[in-house]
Structure 1
Amino acid sequence: MLTVSIKSLSPIAAKEWATKLIASINEHMRREDVGTSEARIAYLEGKLSETNIAGMQQVFYQLIESETRTVMLANAQPEYVFKTVDPAVAPQEKSEPKRALIVISAVMLGGMLGIFVVFIRAFIKSNKAEEKL
């Protein structure tokens, strides 16, 4: 089981990208497997024409049949590698950024920084007052 998720500013674009990504991977793997199987079939047919031994010809025919079955299955299935259990959907709610958390953190950090600046200024003023005495 594999879950694919894409984050984007546009939920509709993220949905389309996820759908297209899975379709692209399926198509790429299908083309790769069909190409490999067709190359194997061509090689086996070449070897088949070279041999006159009936037993070896039978083995080559079985191997060619197996590779032909792979090509047929690859071309017959629309979802070759990844089978979609739950199709991509655009989210109803925002997931990120959590603006409330950012605002609260900024307010707290600003407050702490402000208090720190007040303490530093008070410390500097008290040192100057002691030096004058």
Structure 2
Amino acid sequence: MMHGPPHPYRWFVRRRGLKYIILYLLSNHGPMTGAQIIDEIERLTMGFWRPSPGSVYPALEELESEGLIKVARVEGTKKYYEITESGKQFIGIPSIDKGTSAVNDFISLAKYIMDNWDSLSEEDKVRVREVIREMMKVMG
């Protein structure tokens, strides 16, 4: 529930924004239940907005019928939804295969380690050097 005076974006959030928010959450958090989505929106808005089940579950059904999300798994009565490739494209997330994604993450972490090399403990430096040696064996 939203608190405070009417907000000019309230219509957008109620009519269309909730779908975008759900897609964003699923793209960043992986599979989630409707209840988890409600809780996460409340957490992200610091308690200012807790969408009702009467708005979230119809939005999930609509997103599923549009092929933007799918049921990832069912555990008892809980359905876990995940974003589809179409959903990622819909919100502008480029398709990157898992290998490319891992390489991108590796490069970012390597740059971070290089920038902070002087502040690493000797134990961590030894561990990094060992991983580099193992990688060099694999690369030939």
TM range (shorter): under 0.3
Which structure has the highest strand share of the two?
Answer: 2
Structure scoring higher RCO (CA < 8 A, sep ≥ 6) equals 1
For normalisation by structure 2, the TM-score amounts to: 0.24
For normalisation by structure 1, the TM-score amounts to: 0.25
Which structure has the highest helix share of the two?
Answer: 1
